Structure 1
């Protein structure tokens, strides 16, 4: 079969197909796959025929073997019951030892299930060894708690919670150290904040003081300016009143002078009028006197001419314009 198969497959060694012969290549592939599947199906059928006697024999043998299970289960059940009873008593003993060696204040840190060792249930495990292990665990926890408390930190309760989680003293101490470091940093920041606030308060008070002094100076200067302005205003009013009084006095003086001048002019005019009247009266010719013609050439202004004509008319002189 091998020889025939090799001879059959050797026909394809170095076979080359082109684009034109790809349809033929696909047919060859399909044929080879069909032959391979037929070979595999024949092999599977042959295996079933070959294994049929063994399968029948194995089923009969398993039925015989199963006959051992009934006495084994019967005996083993009793043995397991004995073992379970022994383990129950051992567990009860372990609980009693735990209650005896672990104080109530430590039970929250190391409950029995947390430190329980499955090997304690073995028949070979001695009570003394169990006691030693539980006692050692309790002593370690008690010592660790004392160590944490001795650090006298405000974060002791939190550190104990951390320790209760994993019973790791190093982590609990690290928690306290980190807390104290953070506390110092917070304290330092708080002190720095207080210092800055104090400096700001001092600066604010100094600024307020300077502003108050400045306001006081400004108010004082304003008061001085106001007083000076009031003084200047008073002086100005006094000057104005003085000037007004002087003006009124001058007006009164001028008025008095004018009245005096007018009175004087009136008196002079009265005297002149009276004197003129006397002259006029003396110049008026008597009605019985003989008259003669006289000619004069006088250079006069228009106003003087008008006054002269009025005068001559007033004294009865007959005249005509030549």
Structure 2
């Protein structure tokens, strides 16, 4: 429509008041209160002065409001008339604006449909990691943003997701699927890798603890085996000592018997082939049995038997 020219003729309001005269009188009167000190005896005077001052102030404020109201009379009348003009203008504005908004809404609906098609083409297998409602950029609704630009941005998002998912999967961790769920919710590669790192650290610590436990068990088993071997050796030594002690006692007894026999007349020694050692207390598959006649002193006899015992020779001593 043609430019509408509103012509307004306004005369500045003139307000006349003996302001300077009243100001001079008030200043002179107020000066009397400077440094005023009231006591309990003059309290009634102070109250009267305070009431008087408040009354004077109320009078001045009352006159201000009266003047303002009078000044606003022509403005209030003008404002009402202007509101009528605005109502006349607002009617076609609302009509045109509603149609423009509907056209814009239709354009945006169409843009959304175009974006959804591009989204399906660009994201492909990565769509589950890129929900459209979460990645939609408000500027895509603008007419100044081309579909080519939107396609470029969608492809960049899909490429980024593909790359980061590849990084997650390449870790070959046992919790890759958990990490992918974290990534799907946040699209935060750092958060997904943190999930993997925490698991791997815990796993490493658990494996190390298991290794230490096994080493400790193996050490306990080894020490037990060593202790068992030592115990067996100790028992063997004790058994050898016991046998030797028995042999020593037998030797002592034999020595005593020989000493007694040495004091008796010598009887010729006759070898009895029937006493050939068949009654030995243990089998002797590769041994021979020989009989010797030894003429010795008791001390020498003891040394002979000790020598036999030291090399493990079984012998029997018979009185000659």
For 2:199, the equivalent position in structure 1 comes to: 179
Match of 1:5 among 17, 21, 26: 26
2:142 corresponds to 1:122: yes
Q: Distance in 1 between matches of 2:222 and 2:40?
A: 99
How big is each residue's C-alpha offset from its partner over 1:223-244, in whole Å with a ceiling of 9 and x where there is no partner? Answer: xxxxxxxxxxxxxxxxxxxxxx
2:227 corresponds to 1:189: no
2:98 corresponds to 1:63: no
Distance apart, 1:12 and its partner CA: 0.5
Q: Distance in 2 between matches of 1:195 and 1:29?
A: 99
Q: Distance in 1 between matches of 2:216 and 2:210?
A: 10
Distance apart, 1:130 and its partner CA: 1.1
* CA pair 18-135 structure 1, distance change in 2 beyond 3 A: same
Q: Distance in 2 between matches of 1:140 and 1:59?
A: 62
* CA pair 146-16 structure 1, distance change in 2 beyond 3 A: same
Match of 2:37 among 10, 16, 33: 16
Distance apart, 1:193 and its partner CA: 4.1
For 1:161, the equivalent position in structure 2 comes to: 181
Q: Distance in 2 between matches of 1:198 and 1:36?
A: 104
Match of 1:136 among 149, 153, 156: 156
Q: Distance in 1 between matches of 2:220 and 2:46?
A: 96
| 1:1-322 paired onto structure 2 within 5 Å | 1-103=22-124, 105-196=125-216, 206=224
How big is each residue's C-alpha offset from its partner over 1:267-305, in whole Å with a ceiling of 9 and x where there is no partner? Answer: xxxxxxxxxxxxxxxxxxxxxxxxxxxxxxxxxxxxxxx
Q: Distance in 2 between matches of 1:141 and 1:86?
A: 30
Secondary structure in 1 aligned to 2:94? helix
Q: Distance in 1 between matches of 2:67 and 2:178?
A: 76
Distance apart, 1:4 and its partner CA: 1.9
- Aligned residues between the structures: 214
TM-score w.r.t. structure 2 length? 0.58
Distance apart, 1:37 and its partner CA: 3.4
Q: Distance in 2 between matches of 1:48 and 1:139?
A: 71
TM-score w.r.t. structure 1 length? 0.58
Structure 2, unaligned stretches of length 5 or more? Answer: 1-21, 236-320
Secondary structure in 1 aligned to 2:172? coil
For 2:256, the equivalent position in structure 1 comes to: none
For 2:305, the equivalent position in structure 1 comes to: none
* CA pair 149-5 structure 1, distance change in 2 beyond 3 A: same
How big is each residue's C-alpha offset from its partner over 1:187-226, in whole Å with a ceiling of 9 and x where there is no partner? Answer: 22343344455556777xx49x78xx7xxx9xxxxxxxxx
Distance apart, 1:62 and its partner CA: 1.2
Structure 1, unaligned stretches of length 5 or more? Answer: 218-322
For 2:7, the equivalent position in structure 1 comes to: none
Q: Distance in 2 between matches of 1:171 and 1:41?
A: 71
Q: Distance in 1 between matches of 2:210 and 2:23?
A: 94
Q: Distance in 2 between matches of 1:38 and 1:85?
A: 64
Which structure: greater helix fraction? 1
Q: Distance in 1 between matches of 2:92 and 2:104?
A: 18
